[in-house]
Structure 1
Amino acid sequence: MRRLLFLPLVICYTCLQAQYGAYTPPDKLYGPLFTDVQMNHVFTDGKTFVDCIPKKDPAEIAAAYKGLKNNPRVRYSLKLFVEANFTAPAEVASGYVSDTSESVSAHINKLWKVLLHQPDEQVTGSTLLPLPNAYIVPGGRFREIYYWDSYFTMLGLQESGMYDVMESMVNNFSYMIQQYGHIPNGNRTYFLSRSQPPFFSMMLDLLAEKTGNRVYAQYQVALQREYNYWMDKTAAKGHAVKMPDGTILNRYYDQDIVPRQESYYEDSTLGAAVGKKAPQLYRNLRSGAESGWDFSSRWLADGKTLATIQTVNFIPVDLNCLLYHLELTLSKAYKETGDLVQSSYYQKLAIRRKNAILKYCWNTAGSWFTDYNHVTGARSKELTLAGLMPLFVGIATTEQGNAAARTLESRFLKAGGLVTSLKTTGQQWDAPNGWAPLQWMGVQAMNNYNKKELAKSIAARWVQLNTRVYKATGKLMEKYNVTDANAEGGGGEYPAQDGFGWTNGVLLKLIKLYNLQ
């Protein structure tokens, strides 16, 4: 039976420009030039061109290229045209050489300075959205701040005593909420149509450990605007879904229906293969990017083929747990400012959401929490580490926590830590890969349900794997193969990246927590 949901709202670029002002993404700035560069692989990585800096006014460059392209008597080199008109970006820390005789903790503390990005200046034609304060970037091809990465990076900054940088990053996120109505995926024009898993309220918890509860009052307006974005109370629509029992739960929902600019070739090629369904495909790919899990079997209708992606059909268990935490944090913020009525209101909303998550997302047969397909009215059969989130935020019952711990140990725990899913699909958010944020959530989830030895085992395996790779290569990676210590993490649309913000943060936190080095 098809379930009733809020009708999706198609938002075009004109509407997005009206909302975000002059922050035009590169496909609209350069038109045919953009398409030709991306489809002809002028750069190996599609993200390179969208991060290039134009050497003159973008309109002038676009017009010059149009003149060349439309004149059959003129021969030109697309590659040389791009080189003459753009400055290509360097990878972060590309020239940095590690000293593997140092401990991995010493390495990370040195690397913070390498990954530290100073406050931005406006550069004409750049896709970078300037931020007023310093911030840590992940590394490699990721030259900007990323939303959910930053929470896990902050775990390490906290251990390094770098509260000033943590606060600067939180202030940047607050600035973006004020400027754009939400926190984009990253501070790029081509990321404005979506956000990422909403960890802003958890970032405030980290600050509160240092400064006390006043931070909740300080960022109350930002918290409220963040919540309004996810609840469709702003110009952006499509995140809120009315469930069969009348409860409102949420999904990932990018505001646009065109190929991702940074992955234009990949998306366009897949879109051509599905024909008329391409706009729907593009929204689902983009919404998968908003989830942070780009991509995973959890979003695929057949569990294996990217062309079957249906992200917007799912009520993701992890997203709704994060919004539960946001509602509790709003309750705390209003209490701090003396508005007890609003504080009570958000407390009740959090309880309502908690009950709905337990109702719709607990999979008894799998002894695990899974996403809920609001179109088919069925729980997903895909078991992934997203199912840890109800234990991470502490809403699972004791019985559910015990059952999930058994499932985690028997099915997800591998030699190098926790594997992301139980399927090997070639997508990077599947087996055999392990990711730092999911290790942290696994450790905390097990500690929350008094599975101390299992938590320590997860941490020890992950630290050992990270340290072994660091000693062998001098690098800390974006992701790892947790089933084969001799193989790199892989899959996805780009090569394995080193740096790496959230790996550094989680690793340092676990080392200190368990005295593992």
Structure 2
Amino acid sequence: MEDSQAQVARVAPADPMTPAERYAELFVDVQCSRVFEDSKTFVDCIPRKDPEAILAAYRACKDDPQFDLTTFVMDHFTPECEPVSNYVSPPEQSLVTHIDGLWDVLTRRPQQHPEYSSLLPLPYAYVVPGGRFRELYYWDSYFTMLGLAESGRPHLMRTMAGNFAYLIDAYGHVPNGNRTYYLGRSQPPLFAMMIDLFARYGVIRRARDYLPQLRKEYAYWMAGADMLPRGEAHRSCVRLSDGTLLNRYWDERDTPREEAYLEDVLTARQSSRPAQEVYRDLRAGAASGWDFSSRWLDDPQQLASIRTTALLPVDLNCFLHKLEAQIASLSAKNGEVETAKAFQRKANERAQAIRRVFWNEREGAFFDFDWQRDRRCTMLTAATVTPLYVGLADREQAHRVAKVIRQRLLCTGGIATTEFDTDQQWDHPNGWAPLQWLAIRGLNHYDEASLAQAISDRWLAMVGRLYESRNKLIEKYVLTPMEAGAAGGGGGEYPLQDGFGWTNGVTRKLLRDNPQHSRHQSRSGTS
């Protein structure tokens, strides 16, 4: 990294074991006893001595009548706390200034790595989402970078580029987040799109320097594809009965998520399926970034009915098309003619498959595909905009998608995630910044500027209204109703989080694209 502002750390060895592997029955007892209200707290704790000694001490005293588990945990572990920040939004501070000042609060710089921590050490500074999310997250970071670019933070974009390249080199993929317990899965693969962003803002010298990492990430997603028979799946790959090759979300493990151990155990108990199947589908749902949504459920009101690995998501396959096209383009620029041709062929084949498999002519929108039942899904979700975002829809399809969005997903505060009201956070009435951006940019690609502007205006109005009343930006928002004022979204496994990386990034970018928007006048401490 040539930037003088980049703080480079010698990367310490990561713990080869996850907290569940390290602490065995102690881990299970802590999580099942709810020593901490949030299951993520314990897996992020830092041990005060060698884990083997802690486990031995636990086994020696746990049957003592006077033993207290909470006291034991507090004596042997240090909960990971948020770094102290004196950042307070001053009265009358503008929304743009608030966001620009938040990047320092959300930036983590490499320091001496705590031994046996679940954190995967990184060499360069990075931006976290905020709140309980104290590590780097994969797909969050792309949307965060939109704001970093507009806030004049190219050095942070550059350091994050280095971190993603490092993760791919070290682990073969970008994990969900830089924690040992996230290594079994990735997230929506947006590194190829990040590279376009880096190049656009001049934060890297040559995009083709990242070709080794792009190819390595592609190999991760396509492992086992070459020998995969028709009608079967292997890891992330699925070959349909007609020979079409597409992808699904996947996690290498079929155990409860360590950061949500008790929640997953209780969910699996509500299902008649083997617990391992439920765990795998919950993990795959987390890999999607939509954790969780009726999108993945047989019964929209029952999380235990989750079938993530049975579905081919339209957005994932669009992102992988972008990855293939990016490798083709950069290989051509690098003089690798045969590689460029091979990957362009892969990109073309996937593009044709996306238009054929996911498009519903009657509904006029793109839908996921249930490969196990060999039929297209019927649930409309905001993922229908992704073929527009990557430029795969034809013009008629794009205009029909726009019509469906206007009729069925457009709300007072932006584009809804789904049409179902559930207790899952990736469902109506919640709205999420990344989905607004995909819709706005995708619609603009096809001259649907009025709808794109409507989504942008509604989102900015909602974010600005809540900022004026509560002096902050948050993870997700309730899109309706607006008459009583903006409200934070609900549902999910944890409380609403403040911060918040991708909300900051998308909102900052939209304000830059709309210099006359009234929300430039939003001020903290007003109503």
Do the aligned partners of residues 106 and 213 (structure 1) sit closer, same or farther apart at CA in structure 2, a change above 3 Å counting?
closer
In the alignment, what sits opposite 2:34?
Answer: 41
1:505 equivalent to 2:496? Answer no
Matched residues in 2 for 1:214 and 1:55: separation?
43
**Contact kept in structure 2, 1:38 and 1:46, CA below 8 Å:** yes
* 1:118-197 equivalences in 2 (<5 Å): 118-197=109-188
Q: In the TM superposition, what is the alpha-carbon distance from 1:21 to its structure 2 partner?
A: 8.2
In the alignment, what sits opposite 1:56?
Answer: 49
Match of 1:200 among 185, 191, 204: 191
Do the aligned partners of residues 336 and 118 (structure 1) sit closer, same or farther apart at CA in structure 2, a change above 3 Å counting?
same
* 1:220-299 equivalences in 2 (<5 Å): 220-232=211-223, 238-274=235-271, 277-299=274-296
Matched residues in 2 for 1:512 and 1:128: separation?
34
Matched residues in 2 for 1:351 and 1:93: separation?
50
Q: In the TM superposition, what is the alpha-carbon distance from 1:96 to its structure 2 partner?
A: 3.9
1:412 equivalent to 2:421? Answer no
Do the aligned partners of residues 93 and 378 (structure 1) sit closer, same or farther apart at CA in structure 2, a change above 3 Å counting?
farther
Matched residues in 2 for 1:450 and 1:384: separation?
21
Matched residues in 2 for 1:214 and 1:239: separation?
32
TM-score for the superposition, normalised by structure 1: 0.93
Do the aligned partners of residues 409 and 276 (structure 1) sit closer, same or farther apart at CA in structure 2, a change above 3 Å counting?
closer
Q: Deviations over 1:397-429 (max 9, x none)?
A: 111101000011111111111111000111000
Q: Deviations over 1:110-131 (max 9, x none)?
A: 0000001002432111000000
Task: Give the total of aligned pairs.
Answer: 495
Matched residues in 1 for 2:224 and 2:194: separation?
23
In the alignment, what sits opposite 1:78?
Answer: 69
In the alignment, what sits opposite 1:318?
Answer: 315
Long gaps (5+) in structure 2: 1-12, 226-232, 521-527
Matched residues in 1 for 2:432 and 2:91: separation?
22
Match of 1:434 among 426, 431, 435: 431
**Contact kept in structure 2, 1:120 and 1:132, CA below 8 Å:** no
Q: In the TM superposition, what is the alpha-carbon distance from 1:387 to its structure 2 partner?
A: 0.9
What residue identity is the alignment partner of 1:224? R
**Contact kept in structure 2, 1:216 and 1:332, CA below 8 Å:** no
Q: Secondary structure at the match of 1:241?
A: strand
**Contact kept in structure 2, 1:216 and 1:329, CA below 8 Å:** no
Matched residues in 2 for 1:340 and 1:258: separation?
44
Do the aligned partners of residues 239 and 88 (structure 1) sit closer, same or farther apart at CA in structure 2, a change above 3 Å counting?
same
**Contact kept in structure 2, 1:120 and 1:133, CA below 8 Å:** no
**Contact kept in structure 1, 2:358 and 2:367, CA below 8 Å:** yes
In the alignment, what sits opposite 2:228?
Answer: none
Q: Which sits farther off after the overlay, 329-338 or 221-230?
A: 329-338
Q: Secondary structure at the match of 2:201?
A: helix
In the alignment, what sits opposite 2:96?
Answer: 105
In the alignment, what sits opposite 1:6?
Answer: none
Q: In the TM superposition, what is the alpha-carbon distance from 1:74 to its structure 2 partner?
A: 4.0
Matched residues in 1 for 2:434 and 2:381: separation?
13
**Contact kept in structure 1, 2:15 and 2:117, CA below 8 Å:** no
Q: Deviations over 1:259-278 (max 9, x none)?
A: 00000010011123336610
Q: In the TM superposition, what is the alpha-carbon distance from 1:293 to its structure 2 partner?
A: 0.4
Match of 2:460 among 453, 459, 463: 463
Q: In the TM superposition, what is the alpha-carbon distance from 1:303 to its structure 2 partner?
A: 2.8
* 1:483-502 equivalences in 2 (<5 Å): 483-485=480-482, 486=485, 487-502=487-502
Q: Secondary structure at the match of 2:274?
A: helix
**Contact kept in structure 1, 2:158 and 2:203, CA below 8 Å:** no
Matched residues in 2 for 1:186 and 1:100: separation?
35
Q: Secondary structure at the match of 2:255?
A: coil
Q: In the TM superposition, what is the alpha-carbon distance from 1:237 to its structure 2 partner?
A: 5.3
**Contact kept in structure 1, 2:155 and 2:203, CA below 8 Å:** no
Q: In the TM superposition, what is the alpha-carbon distance from 1:95 to its structure 2 partner?
A: 6.0
**Contact kept in structure 2, 1:361 and 1:379, CA below 8 Å:** yes
Q: Deviations over 1:251-290 (max 9, x none)?
A: 0011100000000010011123336610000000000000
What residue identity is the alignment partner of 1:306? L
Matched residues in 1 for 2:509 and 2:271: separation?
44
Q: In the TM superposition, what is the alpha-carbon distance from 1:233 to its structure 2 partner?
A: 5.5
Q: Secondary structure at the match of 1:219?
A: helix
Do the aligned partners of residues 267 and 219 (structure 1) sit closer, same or farther apart at CA in structure 2, a change above 3 Å counting?
same
In the alignment, what sits opposite 1:24?
Answer: 17
Matched residues in 2 for 1:268 and 1:480: separation?
29
Do the aligned partners of residues 511 and 373 (structure 1) sit closer, same or farther apart at CA in structure 2, a change above 3 Å counting?
same
Do the aligned partners of residues 417 and 127 (structure 1) sit closer, same or farther apart at CA in structure 2, a change above 3 Å counting?
same
Matched residues in 2 for 1:21 and 1:474: separation?
38
Do the aligned partners of residues 36 and 360 (structure 1) sit closer, same or farther apart at CA in structure 2, a change above 3 Å counting?
same
**Contact kept in structure 2, 1:298 and 1:382, CA below 8 Å:** yes
In the alignment, what sits opposite 2:356?
Answer: 359
Q: Secondary structure at the match of 2:477?
A: strand
Q: Secondary structure at the match of 1:301?
A: coil
Q: Secondary structure at the match of 2:402?
A: helix
In the alignment, what sits opposite 2:7?
Answer: none
- The two structures, once aligned, show a CA RMSD in angstroms of 1.7
**Contact kept in structure 2, 1:68 and 1:74, CA below 8 Å:** no
Matched residues in 2 for 1:132 and 1:326: separation?
25
Matched residues in 1 for 2:338 and 2:20: separation?
47
In the alignment, what sits opposite 1:4?
Answer: none
State the identity as a percent: 47
Q: In the TM superposition, what is the alpha-carbon distance from 1:246 to its structure 2 partner?
A: 1.1
In the alignment, what sits opposite 2:378?
Answer: 381
Q: Secondary structure at the match of 1:211?
A: coil
**Contact kept in structure 2, 1:157 and 1:166, CA below 8 Å:** yes
In the alignment, what sits opposite 2:393?
Answer: 396
Do the aligned partners of residues 189 and 24 (structure 1) sit closer, same or farther apart at CA in structure 2, a change above 3 Å counting?
same
Match of 2:330 among 333, 358, 361: 333
Q: Deviations over 1:194-221 (max 9, x none)?
A: 0000000000000111339963311000
**Contact kept in structure 1, 2:15 and 2:115, CA below 8 Å:** no
Q: Deviations over 1:490-509 (max 9, x none)?
A: 00000000000000000000
Matched residues in 2 for 1:91 and 1:385: separation?
33
Long gaps (5+) in structure 1: 1-19
Q: Deviations over 1:157-187 (max 9, x none)?
A: 0111211110111110110101011100000
What residue identity is the alignment partner of 1:407? V
Matched residues in 2 for 1:74 and 1:126: separation?
31
